[in-house]
């Protein structure tokens, strides 16, 4: 299979998960769009290995170790996996730092070893492996490496990761036995793990979710100026990441900070409205 064909195979994986990649850099040049798809496919496959439902944690760790070795091999020479061939081509051609790609693998190793978090700062440290590397990959494809814009991307990605946690509290517990709510925050408000299994959030849990959503919103707001600091043809896409995260924050607030009884999700219509709102704000003379 040729490298272009492997890029196409990677793109197929990305398209199969469009709920997490709502705007596929449609206005970007074709080579940028293809490279973004390859990176997304790599991230998706890596995360799927870390969440493989039928595998034990030790088996997942073995698979992740092999995946990292295969990535290194793909960067050095021929490889068989179409996703690795495509992403290795992107890394070489764009002269990208490989560290964000390996940090994402490490995040999935961490998922096999850690299922509870003591402090909010610990959660932010985890985001430095699970979330911010993705933004750095995206910026790398765009040729952006300066510290100021990287910091804005890090804030956006951490905010997105956190709000995703608060959207999926019950599902993470029931399907993965993971509780991302910091233990010290739970203890402060008297929230227990059993409260997360209830049919609806208690007043204390609602207050805790309100608190954590506020932290996520602050990060998303901090990173929002990045939208106006990237090439014009990708501003809609960058803006959509922030808009999506803020939409979830607003939706959680509208349902009284109870994500136990109901999980907010934008759906196709919601994503379309978000894209229209971002596009409107990008018009000359509109509010930033």
The separation between the first and the last C-alpha atoms of the chain, rounded to the nearest angstrom, is 45
Greater confidence, 72 or 280? 72
Q: How confident is the prediction for the chain on average, in pLDDT? A: 88
Q: pLDDT confidence of 18, banded at 50, 70, 90? A: very low
Which residue carries 């934008």 as its tokens? Answer: 266
Mean pLDDT of 252-281: 72
Residue 288 has pLDDT above 60, yes or no: no
Say what the pLDDT of residue 280 is: 47
Say what the pLDDT of residue 129 is: 98
Mean pLDDT of 160-183: 95
Mean pLDDT of 267-284: 52
Say what the pLDDT of residue 267 is: 58
* Helix extents (H) in the chain: 3-15, 30-50, 57-76, 82-94, 99-113, 120-130, 132-141, 147-167, 169-176, 183-189, 203-223, 235-254, 267-282
Residue 21 has pLDDT above 50, yes or no: no
Q: pLDDT confidence of 23, banded at 50, 70, 90? A: very low
Tokens of 150: 């990287």
Tens of pLDDT, residues 74-120 = 999 888 899 999 999 999 999 999 999 999 999 999 999 999 999 99
Nearest one of 151, 113, 115 to 132, comparing CA atoms: 151
In the chain, % of residues over pLDDT 90: 75
- Least confident interval from 45-49, 108-112, 190-194, 263-267: 263-267
| DSSP structure string for 194-205 | GGGGSSS--HHH
Greater confidence, 184 or 55? 184
Say what the pLDDT of residue 277 is: 52
| DSSP structure string for 19-54 | GG--S--TTS-HHHHHHHHHHHHHHHHHHHHHT-TT
Tokens of 43: 């991230």
Domain extents in the chain: 1-113, 115-280
Q: What distances in angstroms separate CA 266 from CA 126, 156, 167, one per listed residue?
A: 26, 18, 12
Between vectors from CA 50 to CA 44 and to CA 51, what angle results, nearest 5°? 85
* Crossing angle between the packed helical segments 267-282 and 235-254, to the nearest 10 degrees: 120
- Residue 179 pairs in a beta bridge with 116
Residue 14 has pLDDT above 80, yes or no: no
CATH topology of domain 1-113: Farnesyl Diphosphate Synthase (1.10.600)
pTM (predicted TM-score):
0.87
- Class of CATH domain 115-280: mainly alpha
Q: pLDDT confidence of 265, banded at 50, 70, 90? A: confident
Tokens of 154: 């890090």
């Amino acid at each position: 299979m040729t490298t272009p064909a492997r890029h196409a195979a990677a793109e197929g994986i990305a398209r199969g998960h469009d709920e997490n990649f709502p705007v596929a850099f449609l206005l970007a040049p074709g080579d940028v769009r293809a490279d973004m798809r390859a990176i997304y496919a790599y991230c998706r496959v890596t995360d799927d290995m870390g969440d493989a439902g039928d595998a034990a944690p030790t088996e997942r760790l073995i698979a992740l170790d092999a995946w990292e070795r295969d990535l290194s091999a793909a960067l050095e020479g021929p490889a068989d996996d179409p996703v690795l061939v495509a992403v290795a081509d992107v890394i070489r051609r764009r002269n990208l730092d490989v560290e964000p790609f390996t940090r994402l693998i490490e995040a999935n190793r961490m998922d096999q070893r850690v299922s509870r978090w003591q402090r909010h700062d610990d959660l932010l440290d985890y985001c430095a492996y699970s979330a911010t590397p993705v933004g750095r990959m995206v910026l790398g494809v765009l040729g952006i490496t300066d510290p100021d814009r990287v910091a804005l991307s890090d804030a956006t990605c951490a905010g997105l990761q956190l709000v995703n946690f608060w959207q999926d509290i019950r599902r993470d517990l029931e399907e993965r036995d993971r509780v991302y709510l910091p233990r010290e925050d739970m203890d402060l408000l008297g929230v227990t793990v059993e409260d997360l299994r209830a049919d609806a959030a208690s007043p204390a849990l609602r207050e805790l979710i309100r608190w954590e959503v506020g932290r996520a919103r602050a990060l998303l707001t901090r990173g929002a100026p990045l939208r106006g600091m990237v090439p014009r043809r990708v501003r809609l896409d960058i803006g959509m990441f922030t808009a999506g995260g803020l939409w979830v924050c607003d939706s959680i607030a509208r349902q009284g900070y109870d994500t136990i009884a109901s999980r907010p999700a934008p759906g196709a219509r919601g994503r379309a409205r978000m894209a229209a709102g971002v596009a409107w704000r990008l018009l000359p003379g509109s509010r930033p």
